[in-house]
A = this chain, B = another copy of it.
Amino acid sequence: MAAQGVTKRIEDYSRWYTDVVKMADLADYAAVRGCMIIKPYGYELWENIKSGLDKRFKATGHRNAYFPLLIPMSFIEKEAKHVEGFAPELAIVTHAGGKELDEPLAIRPTSETVIGHAYARWIHSYRDLPVLINQWANVVRWEMRPRLFLRTSEFLWQEGHTAHATEEEAEEETIRMLDIYADFAVKDAAIPVIKGEKSGQEKFAGASRSFTIEAMMGNTWALQSGTSHYLGQNFARAFDIKFLDEENKLKYCYTTSWGVSTRMVGGIVMAHGDDKGLRLPPRLAPIQVVIVPIWRTVDQQGVVMKAIDDIRGALVDAGVRVHVDKREGITPGFKFNDWEMRGVPMRMEIGPRDVEHGTAILARRDMQGKDAKQSVSQDGIAQRVLELLTDIQNHMLAQATEFRDAHLHRANSYDELKEIVTDGWALIPHCGASECEEKIKEETKSSSRCYPIAENKDWDPREKTCPICGKPAVGLAYFARSY
């Protein structure tokens, strides 16, 4: 029925993804290789993600600010691990205002350095601490194998940067923000992420410890969906971020940084999408309810549109994001498929008979077949829609959780790991050595995702050994194919 269908996931998951992103009008390729255009429907989804995160940041005392796009190369070189990690991905401005610059400038790949430089000037005393700042910005990391939303040379994100008087407080902040990311992912994006610590190999360039929320995509691959870094005094020493403590002693601050990017959009596509296309969780969907009018004659059109106007008004008043598909010359069936492909959580159909009976048909995107449709009374319809949207949100989380849990396995040997990672994540005792990680990656294409916090609680690593090298394990780690 649909004019264009998306590729089936089982045929080619990668092509399915690109089909959905393009056909649902989320994004388009840009002229510059590796860059993307975020189209209005995709950007509205991003705006809802932003707003869900931003209110959580503000509720925990963070304030937004804006730091420069351009960073002197000498700043990036100040932290040894940082420059090592980011140098290969930098885009460099060498000329500006018609002249060659004395010092080349990097387009920010992340802003620890330029913000560290500012904090060193702003922070003098313990009274100035903590500094809790976030910025919404674009960053550039040159990408050799770009994928829309998942890996693009330019992407949008937020980056929080905080400075604290004590190690303990900075570590608490790191975990607080990890928890906020998980709360957002679970409650707003309906994605049941796993919180954990990155291995030494996978941590952020310049961090002491990196934490992550890892999400499972529809092909069981993992997507790192947000990270929170405890930077210790690494950047404080590199940028001289010092304060006088209560005893008048000069000390280095402890800093953190944490970020979520437009990659999250790709995560939502792959965590929830099906062979019909996108499925958006109601809390983030740009359009929560689409109303499709059904009529044959002009008289019927008038009657139907009048009823729809009233319902639309009631939904808007109830805070529902609603769209009426008034397009003419297109069949209702085409519209149904179109909006299903675009992932709108609920469709409302209203025809002359519905008007007569004072009813409307509601169809849920999260279910299939007869169960997905119900006829409801127009009386109190806004309340019913709100209830159903909550139900859809919860059901999508339950579906994603069920899928994830069915693909998480404990591996008792390296052979088991090899088997598991072809269609899931393997939890395995790990020695922490990057040699073992590398070996697993080479031989299985799966990488260390994290040491999950929950699974490592109350667990004595001395009980187990790494199945690769036989040495004592430092923790249980998830290995999986990943984006």
Contacts from A to B (Cβ < 8 Å): 28, 30-32, 35-40, 42-44, 46-47, 63-72, 75, 87-98, 104-105, 107, 114, 117-118, 121-122, 133, 137-138, 140, 142-144, 153-154, 156
Question: Are the C-beta atoms of B92 and A94 separated by less than 8 Å?
Answer: yes
Question: Are the C-beta atoms of B96 and A91 separated by less than 8 Å?
Answer: yes
Give 9 CB contacts A-B under 8 Å.
Answer: A28-B118, A30-B67, A32-B71, A32-B105, A37-B67, A90-B97, A96-B140, A98-B142, A137-B138
Question: Are the C-beta atoms of A97 and B93 separated by less than 8 Å?
Answer: no
Question: Are the C-beta atoms of A140 and B69 separated by less than 8 Å?
Answer: yes
> What are the residues of chain B within 8 A of A87 when measuring CB–CB?
98
Considering only CB atoms, which chain B residue lies closest to A121 in the complex?
A: B28
**Chain A interface main SS type:** mixed
Which of B37, B40, B96 makes the CB contact (< 8 A) with A68? Answer: B37
Bound together, the chains give a CA A38 to CA B71 distance in angstroms of 15
Question: Are the C-beta atoms of A39 and B65 separated by less than 8 Å?
Answer: yes
> What are the residues of chain B within 8 A of A66 when measuring CB–CB?
37-38, 43, 46, 156
Bound together, the chains give a CA A88 to CA B99 distance in angstroms of 9
> What are the residues of chain B within 8 A of A37 when measuring CB–CB?
65-68, 118
Bound together, the chains give a CA A122 to CA B133 distance in angstroms of 38
Question: Are the C-beta atoms of B96 and A30 separated by less than 8 Å?
Answer: no
Bound together, the chains give a CA A420 to CA B67 distance in angstroms of 40
Bound together, the chains give a CA A133 to CA B96 distance in angstroms of 29
> What are the residues of chain B within 8 A of A142 when measuring CB–CB?
96-98
Q: How far is the CB of A5 from chain B (nearest CB, A)?
A: 21
The 9 closest A-B pairs by CB, nearest first: A97-B142, A40-B63, A91-B96, A38-B66, A35-B68, A92-B95, A30-B68, A96-B142, A94-B94
Q: How far is the CB of A427 from chain B (nearest CB, A)?
A: 35
Q: How far is the CB of A63 from chain B (nearest CB, A)?
A: 4
Bound together, the chains give a CA A196 to CA B159 distance in angstroms of 40
Q: How far is the CB of A106 from chain B (nearest CB, A)?
A: 10
Bound together, the chains give a CA A42 to CA B88 distance in angstroms of 34
Considering only CB atoms, which chain B residue lies closest to A46 in the complex?
A: B66
Q: How far is the CB of A286 from chain B (nearest CB, A)?
A: 9
Bound together, the chains give a CA A75 to CA B35 distance in angstroms of 15
Question: Are the C-beta atoms of A93 and B64 separated by less than 8 Å?
Answer: no
Question: Are the C-beta atoms of A64 and B92 separated by less than 8 Å?
Answer: no
> What are the residues of chain B within 8 A of A69 when measuring CB–CB?
35, 69, 107, 138, 140, 154
> What are the residues of chain B within 8 A of A31 when measuring CB–CB?
68, 71-72, 75, 114, 117
Question: Are the C-beta atoms of A44 and B63 separated by less than 8 Å?
Answer: yes
- Given A68-B32, A69-B154, the answer on whether A94 and B97 have CB atoms closer than 8 Å is no
